[in-house]
Amino acid sequence: MDGMAGVSRRQLLGSATALALGLALTGCGGSSGSSSGVDEHGVVTISVNGMPAKTQPEDRKDFEDLVKQFEAAHPKIKIDAREGQMDPKTFAAKLAGGQLEDVYYVYFTDPAGLIQRRQGADITKYLKGVPYLDQIRPALQDVFKGPDGKIYGVPTGNYSLGLVYNRALFKKAGLDPDKPPTTWEEVRTAAQKISALGDGTVGYADYSKNNQGGWHLTSWIYSMGGDVATQQNGTWKAAFDSDAGRKALQALHDMRWTDKSMGTRQLLEIADVQKMMGSGKLGMYMAGPDNIPTIVKQFESKYDDYGLAALPGTATLGGGDGFMFNPKASPEKIKAGLQWIQWKYLNPDREEENVKKFSGLDVPIGLPQPNLFDGAAQAKNDAIHAKYANVPQANYQPFVDRSDDVAVKVEPPNAQQLYTVLDGVMQSVLTKEDADLDKLLADAAKRADSILATVK
Amino acid sequence: MAGRPLPTSPARATARDRTPVRDGAPAPAGASGPATKKSLDRGPASPAGPSTRGGAATGRFRRRVRENLVAYLFLAAGVICFALFSWYPIVRGILLGFQQVTFAQPAEWVGLDNFRRLFDDPLFLTAWKNTGWFTLLALVFGFAAPFATAVVLNELRRGKAYLRMTVYLPVMLPSVVTMLLWRWFYDPGPGLFNNVLDVFHLPPQQWLESENLAMVSLVLVSTWANMGTTTLIYLAALGGIPGELYEAAELDGASIRRRLWHVTIPQMRFILMITLLLQVIGTMQVFVEPFVLTGGGPDDATVTVLLLLYRYAFVYNDFGLASAMSTLLFVVLGAFAGVYLRLTRSKG
């Protein structure tokens, strides 16, 4: 869900980064409270992040109310709520300075590295008996599994990439907004028709900067039936120098240079593309469902204007978020933290009450998302969401309809490093008409191999 | 001009001014110390003097300490602050370069491993090459432009104050605003530059998207944003050139060009040298421009040392590697700083 917003947040500019760089690099080796966190009355206090900022007063108030409710229901636990989510710029400094929360938010791209560097606590033995945790889909649980088979965190949300499109532009270009493209050839034709509208209209846009190009190229390659990295005899190898990789690059190259339906401005990132979509100048782009409310809110447009289709091809990239635990957290804190996460984020019992409240506020209910649970818990959630939906669900039917045909694959190991390499590939294809696709893939694979060699 | 060259020279000057005072202090301590200075200290009740007891040297030392105790206390605050917020982080940063740090476990010493891994990264050389290229370009644009502007401004009879302000204006813009503004200038579609080219029937350019142009484009942004400061320095230096020199040159019938060549440039040689060095030091730390405008692309053409360092630290969370990189940068910049110190000292 928040995965994409996270990537963009992560790339936030500012000269402050230079300052942060200096500060973090100098991180003093402070000690963290190694105490159990339990006071004389047996009350354990845990610090958690994920509290909305003061700039979102309604969300923040809601969070604070939930903390109160939770504390009332769990008199032996006190929550010390902190603002913010995973921010790689401050994470290490917080950890070094003993300021890292006991329970901290992560994106799916991070757990593998955090586990490898032992920056998260092993929670395997505390999971037993916590309601619903065993019903979370195994693929999502695996994201938090270490090479030692132990569990280091809990997923709380996930998304998969589809195709967000502008229904109004589809109509204007003579395309049926209820039948969006299901193959890349159809995407190409649709993009051509939309960019033929002129006036700066772009048929299809994609990212190519700050690791977001690599992230999307990975999804392109998945959709062409390929892989970015595969494991053979315990070691990881780059797998994108393949037919699928070549097909992905060729499709991008053709749309950019032959059809000229990808616009002239490149080196885009998520915020740029959302702006294009929000201002009605873009036909389609690859994105998860959570992009739609962002565009609607930021550009004051209407939900009716946007549709969501599944990604063409056979597979797409899925990501998500969850929580991990401070490696120095005591067993009492881990147990309390798990109760909080389950109660707040993974709770079909509270879902109806929540959704009812949110549907009255400005929170979109009924956007399609891949299931978090298997079985009964998921069925319960689905029924509630359908009942309180406040967004035009018909617009997302094309995404839902094909979801069974499109496998959701998680991100490769050392994802961020690989994305840096693939960023370069994406950039070359989109900025150089005479780019040598074979050579690009071969060179990038060599670099990716050396990055993957460090995966344990 | 991409440097941030202002603060160092005045600071240096005060340091130089202070030195003789410190060096001179021991002399008056014995015999002819100014009375006012003594009375300012802890009162006249300090007859320790150069007596026979304990050797003259320690006696003199103790007395000097006692006499200047207040001064030392004031100094200590500064030294402690520096040590805590400046020297300790530097030392710590260098040490991190030889460690594998996760901050969860105690750091592990890995010797030169991080440096070896740096050299193995194919982007390492690219980053240094790109940074060198940026610095060189910044010198071509950023060194000449403010000097020329300053000379022209200095020659003006009217509107000097207004133009001086105009030149300085970009420095006052927050860098985020500057970047957004230039993104629009460079936009290959409706951007300003391509529209201007269009007026002259020239083909549109891929300012940021072409490997050949991207770095030049970044240097232009940086020059535009920073040249105001350097121009002001040059203007001040120009104002300091004795008028008689120009009068004499004019009497001899020297043209503007000859006056520039034989009076202005020789008179400003020192300040030119200093800004040159400071600019090298400043531009080698280029970060915001590539980070915001190109993200290092296209095809790694604008990956700079600091951008790579940022990735190591905050994208890959590998602080050992990032610290090793920053240590290397520190050494290189240290060499330039050494030259700078030599120059400023020899001038005195």
Tens-digit pLDDT profile for residues B159-177: 888 888 888 999 999 988 9
List residues bridging with A107 in a β-sheet.
Answer: A321
Compare CB distances from B314 to A22, A27, A88 and report the shortest one's residue: A88
Name the 3-class secondary structure at A29.
coil
Does the CB of B325 have a partner CB in chain A at under 8 Å?
Answer: no
Kindly indicate the confidence band of residue B18, based on its pLDDT and cuts at 50, 70 and 90: very low
pLDDT at A257: 96
What is the mean pLDDT of the segment spanning B12-37? 37
Compare CB distances from B319 to A15, A92, A211 and report the shortest one's residue: A92
Shortest distance between the Cα of B187 and any Cα of chain A, in A, equals: 6
Interface test with A, best of B121, B315, B330 (most A CBs within 10 A): B315
- pLDDT single digits (tens) B314-330: 888 889 999 999 999 99
Shortest distance between the Cα of B121 and any Cα of chain A, in A, equals: 9
Question: For all residues of chain B together, what is the average pLDDT?
Answer: 81
- pLDDT single digits (tens) A389-441: 889 989 999 999 998 899 989 889 888 889 999 999 999 999 999 999 999 99
What percent of chain A is predicted at pLDDT more than 70?
A: 92
Contacts of A259 (CB under 8 A, 6+ apart): A188, A191, A192, A195, A203
* CB-CB neighbors (< 8 A) of A427 in chain B: 297-299
* CB-CB neighbors (< 8 A) of A210 in chain B: 295
What is the mean pLDDT of the segment spanning B342-346? 79
Across the interface, whether the CB atoms of B326 and A428 are under 8 A apart is answered no
Contacts of B259 (CB under 8 A, 6+ apart): B246, B249, B250
Across the interface, whether the CB atoms of A88 and B317 are under 8 A apart is answered yes
- pLDDT single digits (tens) B241-287: 888 888 898 888 888 888 888 888 899 888 888 888 888 888 999 99
What is the mean pLDDT of the segment spanning B83-109? 90
Q: Which of residues 43-82 of A touch B (CB under 8 A)?
A: none
* CB-CB neighbors (< 8 A) of B326 in chain A: 25
Does the CB of A231 have a partner CB in chain B at under 8 Å?
Answer: no
What is the mean pLDDT of the segment spanning B187-197? 88
Interface test with A, best of B90, B98, B103 (most A CBs within 10 A): B103
* CB-CB neighbors (< 8 A) of A269 in chain B: 295
What percent of chain A is predicted at pLDDT more than 90?
A: 61
In whole angstroms, what separates CA B146 from the centre of its chain? 16
- Between A111 and B51, the more confident residue is A111
Does the CB of B320 have a partner CB in chain A at under 8 Å?
Answer: no
Kindly indicate the confidence band of residue B75, based on its pLDDT and cuts at 50, 70 and 90: very high
pLDDT at A456: 65
Q: DSSP letter for B126, please.
A: H
- pLDDT single digits (tens) A138-159: 888 999 999 899 999 999 998 9
Across the interface, whether the CB atoms of A265 and B187 are under 8 A apart is answered yes
pLDDT at A35: 67
For residue B303, the number of C-alpha atoms closer than 13 Å in the C-beta half-sphere is 25
Shortest distance between the Cα of B239 and any Cα of chain A, in A, equals: 33
Kindly indicate the confidence band of residue B193, based on its pLDDT and cuts at 50, 70 and 90: very high
Give yes or no for a contact between B274 and B340, defined as CB atoms under 8 angstroms apart: yes
- pLDDT single digits (tens) B214-230: 999 999 999 999 889 98
What is the mean pLDDT of the segment spanning A124-145? 91
Does the CB of A356 have a partner CB in chain B at under 8 Å?
Answer: no
Does the CB of A417 have a partner CB in chain B at under 8 Å?
Answer: yes
Give yes or no for a contact between A24 and A89, defined as CB atoms under 8 angstroms apart: yes
pLDDT at B54: 54
Shortest distance between the Cα of A149 and any Cα of chain B, in A, equals: 20
pLDDT at A27: 40
pLDDT of residue B39 exceeding 70, the answer is no
Does the CB of A275 have a partner CB in chain B at under 8 Å?
Answer: no
Q: DSSP letter for B286, please.
A: -
pLDDT at A329: 93
CA distances from B203 to A420, A422, B213, B214 (A): 32, 30, 14, 17
What is the mean pLDDT of the segment spanning A89-111? 88
Kindly indicate the confidence band of residue A378, based on its pLDDT and cuts at 50, 70 and 90: confident
Kindly indicate the confidence band of residue B109, based on its pLDDT and cuts at 50, 70 and 90: very high
pLDDT of residue B103 exceeding 60, the answer is yes
Does the CB of A28 have a partner CB in chain B at under 8 Å?
Answer: yes
Give residue for tokens 């240097």: B219
Q: Which of residues 422-441 of A touch B (CB under 8 A)?
A: 423-424, 427-428, 430-432
Task: Return phi, psi of residue A102, to 5°.
Answer: -65, -35
pLDDT of residue A228 exceeding 90, the answer is yes
Across the interface, whether the CB atoms of A91 and B317 are under 8 A apart is answered yes
Residue-wise burial string across A270-284, b where 16 or more C-beta atoms lie within 10 A, e elsewhere? bbbbbebbbeebbbb
Q: What is the pTM of this model?
A: 0.79
* Angle (nearest 5°) at CA B315 between B313 and B321: 30
* CB-CB neighbors (< 8 A) of B175 in chain A: 14-15
Compare CB distances from A264 to B105, B189, B323 and report the shortest one's residue: B189
What is the mean pLDDT of the segment spanning B203-222? 91
**Residue A269, Cβ neighbours under 10 Å: how many?**
18
pLDDT of residue A12 exceeding 70, the answer is no
Across the interface, whether the CB atoms of A25 and B188 are under 8 A apart is answered no
Beta pairing, strands A282-287 & A407-409:
unpaired
Compare CB distances from A89 to B104, B189, B314 and report the shortest one's residue: B314
Question: Highest-confidence range of A94-108, A434-448, B41-55, by mean pLDDT?
Answer: A434-448
Does the CB of A316 have a partner CB in chain B at under 8 Å?
Answer: no
Query: Rounded CA gap, B291 and B282, in Å?
Result: 16
What is the mean pLDDT of the segment spanning A212-235? 94
pLDDT of residue B28 exceeding 60, the answer is no
Q: Which of residues 69-88 of B touch A (CB under 8 A)?
A: 88
* CB-CB neighbors (< 8 A) of A270 in chain B: none
pLDDT of residue A2 exceeding 50, the answer is no
Across the interface, whether the CB atoms of B209 and A417 are under 8 A apart is answered no
Give residue for tokens 């493209």: A181
Kindly indicate the confidence band of residue B63, based on its pLDDT and cuts at 50, 70 and 90: confident
Does the CB of A118 have a partner CB in chain B at under 8 Å?
Answer: yes
**Dihedral (C-alpha) B163, B164, B169, B172: value to the nearest 10 degrees?**
-170
What is the mean pLDDT of the segment spanning A175-189? 97
Give yes or no for a contact between A271 and A12, defined as CB atoms under 8 angstroms apart: no
* CB-CB neighbors (< 8 A) of A430 in chain B: 209
Across the interface, whether the CB atoms of A209 and B309 are under 8 A apart is answered no
Give residue for tokens 């969860």: B104
Least trusted range by pLDDT, from A234-238, A428-432, B138-142: B138-142
A–B CB contacts, 8 A cutoff, strictly below: 132
Does the CB of A452 have a partner CB in chain B at under 8 Å?
Answer: no
End-to-end CA distance of chain B: 27
- Between A164 and A25, the more confident residue is A164
Residue-wise burial string across B209-232, b where 16 or more C-beta atoms lie within 10 A, e elsewhere? bbbebbbebbbbbbbbbbbbbbbb
pLDDT of residue A371 exceeding 90, the answer is no
Give yes or no for a contact between B173 and B225, defined as CB atoms under 8 angstroms apart: yes
Across the interface, whether the CB atoms of A91 and B288 are under 8 A apart is answered no
* CB-CB neighbors (< 8 A) of A21 in chain B: 309-310, 313-314
Across the interface, whether the CB atoms of B188 and A17 are under 8 A apart is answered no
Residue of chain B whose alpha carbon sits nearest to that of A7: B315
Across the interface, whether the CB atoms of A26 and B310 are under 8 A apart is answered no
Does the CB of A109 have a partner CB in chain B at under 8 Å?
Answer: no
For residue B172, the number of C-alpha atoms closer than 13 Å in the C-beta half-sphere is 5
Across the interface, whether the CB atoms of A423 and B296 are under 8 A apart is answered yes
Kindly indicate the confidence band of residue B55, based on its pLDDT and cuts at 50, 70 and 90: low
Give yes or no for a contact between A50 and A345, defined as CB atoms under 8 angstroms apart: no
What is the mean pLDDT of the segment spanning A69-84? 94
pLDDT at A272: 93
In whole angstroms, what separates CA A452 from the centre of its chain? 22
**Dihedral (C-alpha) A226, A228, A232, A236: value to the nearest 10 degrees?**
180
Burial of B330 (0-12, 13-18, 19+ CB in 10 A): middle
Shortest distance between the Cα of B210 and any Cα of chain A, in A, equals: 6
Query: Rounded CA gap, A265 and A251, in Å?
Result: 18
Q: Which of residues 196-255 of B touch A (CB under 8 A)?
A: 204, 206, 208-211
